[in-house]
Amino acid sequence: MNRTLIVMTILAFGFSAFFRKLAVDKLHPYYMQIISAGVYLTMAPVWYNLAPKNATMDAQGTFYAIITTCVHVCGAVMFGMLLKSSNSTGSLSVMVSAAPIVTVLLSIIFLEEEFQLKHFVATLLTLSGLTLFNMK
């Protein structure tokens, strides 16, 4: 795995949540999504030009991309609403960071990935950390 890319991804998502909080303090989360959609549209030519020229479009892959986008938008709107109503952006972001547990479970169930002891331990540690982080 490319550790630098992992760290950059974590930083990008961390900064994204921070700036989303600033945005939804001034805008309704729906407007935030409208602006996001506009930015995505303006970036489409950039992503198209960056894509490998031999890359192919697959109907099933396109279907999954559409589902991904719809589910992501729902999550982003809900996260925006939570941020707008919260005074604890950090705690909220930490709680939402449990999402990879869902990904691991779905991968084990539907992609037949092997469930290893390390997955179980990591899940327990994550849930324990979330519980400790949110104790008053």
Q: Report the C-alpha gap between 60 and 70 in whole angstroms.
A: 15
Flag whether pLDDT at 102 surpasses 70.
Answer: yes
What is the per-residue pLDDT for 69? Answer: 93
Looking at the structure, do residues 40 and 19 belong to the same domain, yes or no? yes
Q: Are residues 69 and 134 in the same domain?
A: no
Question: Do residue 103 and residue 83 come from a single domain?
Answer: no
84 lies in the same domain as 112: no
pLDDT digits over 26-82, tens only?
999 999 999 999 999 999 999 999 999 888 889 999 999 999 999 999 999 999 899
3-state secondary structure 27-61: CCHHHHHHHHHHHHHHHHHHHHHHCCCCCCCCHHH
State pTM to two decimals.
0.76
CA torsion sign for 4, 103, 17, 67 is: positive
Domain with 21 in it: 3-88
Three-state secondary-structure class, residue 86 = coil
Separation CA 80–CA 86 (nearest Å):
10
Question: Does residue 77 lie within any of the structural domains?
Answer: yes
Q: CA nearest 75: which of 133, 18, 29, 119?
A: 29
Answer yes or no: do 50 and 79 share one domain. Answer: yes
Confidence band, pLDDT 50/70/90 cuts, at residue 126: confident
pLDDT at residue 131, as a whole number: 78
- For residues 81 and 26, membership in a common domain is answered with yes
In this prediction, residue 25 carries a pLDDT of 92
* Number of domains present in the structure of the chain: 2
Residue 136 has pLDDT above 70, yes or no: no
